[in-house]
Every structure is written in structure tokens, then in C-alpha cells.
Amino acid sequence: MSDVMIDAADGGRFSAYVAKPTVAPAGGLVVIQEIFGVNAVMREMCDWYASQGFLAVCPDLFWRQKPGVQLTDKTQEEWNQAFALLNGMDQDKAVDDLKAALAWVRGQDGCTGKAGSVGYCLGGRLAFMMATRSDADANVGYYGVGLEGLLGEADKIAKPLLLHIAENDKFSSPEKRDAVVAGVKDNTWVTAKVYPGMDHAFARPGGEHYDRDAADEANRLTVEFFRTHLA
């Protein structure tokens, strides 16, 4: 487990946390951060994906504003900082950085050359954007925010995409949730799974709405999905 530097498409360099599996070559995964930066939770997720046989890299998407952000979800001050960083983010450039991370992981000796993305919260939204705007081999989004506003891009999805949707997501609404499910149902590349009774971030260990059973189910499906599509 280590940190590396990756060249951005428009100049500059950003850091990324890398976790390597015990067996190589492996499929590559770009793990996309929540609004709290590449914090302990995201690093642990990378370590877990590596334990499942993937070469995982989590790039710092806040580097243009403030490199090295590592917040938690435990205090209001940190939430305020996180939302300020989210509001200051250029999401188009963030996708460019994710594409750079995707190219980086594909180019590693320990990678098969196949690679996808998996993201949470903000990262779940960006994983959807990776499905519409990149050549990632497969993508997974956990409770992505604002996906209903991206449905105009849905017809560009031509690689497998798995969406884990919280039924009672506090950052969404039943109408928005239903719009997303309806908006992707005719695309055979997309699987949208709604988790009954779950709230936002149900898969974040230690979080307010963490639910072990739902998280275990989502994570099992995610690993099976990537083992299928990145083999």
C-alpha cells in the first residue's frame, strides 16, 4: 500500500493511494472518493478491493483546491469543509483526472489491461460519468448523488454499469430515485438495484446509516460484477 503521483491531462500532478493484490496480473480499479477526500475509509476500501484480487487506485480529486484532504463524517465542521470542496470542484476536470488514473492503472505491470471504476456518494456520481464519458471496462456507483440530472448522457453507456441505490437516500427523493431507475431501465448495459429502507452511505463502515447486511450484499455483487467484466 503506497501513494503515487499521476500526471493530470492539463498539467500538474495529483497523488493517489494504491493497494496491490497478492496475485498478479489483476484487473484494475479506480476507487472514487466520497466528499471527504482520500481518507481512512477510502484507503480501507482500496485495501479490501486488493484483498479481493484487484489492483486498486484512489486518486485525490480535491488536489486543485487543496491536496491531501482527509476528512471524516463525524463533525459538522468537517461536513462544512467537505461541501465547500464539493461546491468548488470542477467535475469535468475530475472526470479527466479519473481517466488519467484509469490509464495509469492499466499501464502497470501488475494489471491485465482491463480496468473499471467504483465510487461512493460523489464518487457514485462520477462513476456514472465514467460510464458515459470514458472507456472504462465496467463501472459501479454506490448511492450516486444527482444522477437524475445526468440521464441525458445515459444513451452513451456501452459498457457494464451497476448502480446501488438507497431507497430512502437523504440526498435524493423518491421522485428522483424513480426517475433514475426509469431512465436506465431500457439500457441493457445498466443494472440498477434499489436497497429497501436504506439511507445514503449504507455501505460506509462506521457511518451513521451503515447497514452490514445491505453493505455485504452490495459489496458481494460488486466483486462478482468486476470479476466477470475485468477477467
- pLDDT tens digits, residue range 184-206? 999 999 999 999 999 999 999 99
- The three-class DSSP label of residue 17 is strand
**pLDDT (tens place) for every residue of the chain, 231 residues total:** 799 999 999 999 999 999 999 999 999 999 999 999 999 999 999 999 999 999 999 999 999 999 999 999 999 999 999 999 999 999 999 999 999 999 999 999 999 999 999 999 999 999 999 999 999 999 999 999 999 999 999 999 999 999 999 999 999 999 999 999 999 999 999 999 999 999 999 999 999 999 999 999 999 999 999 999 998
Backbone angles phi, psi at 78, to 5 degrees: -70, -40
Angle between helices 91-106 and 122-133 (to 10 degrees): 70
Query: Closest Cα partner for 100 from 7, 38, 10, 16?
Result: 7
What is the pLDDT, as a whole number, of residue 1?
78
pTM above 0.95?
Answer: yes
Contacts of 132 (CB under 8 A, 6+ apart): 150, 153, 154, 156, 157
- pLDDT tens digits, residue range 71-86? 999 999 999 999 999 9
Amino acid at 76: Q
What is the pLDDT, as a whole number, of residue 153?
97
Contacts of 114 (CB under 8 A, 6+ apart): 27, 28, 106, 137, 229, 230, 231
List the catalytic residues: 169, 200
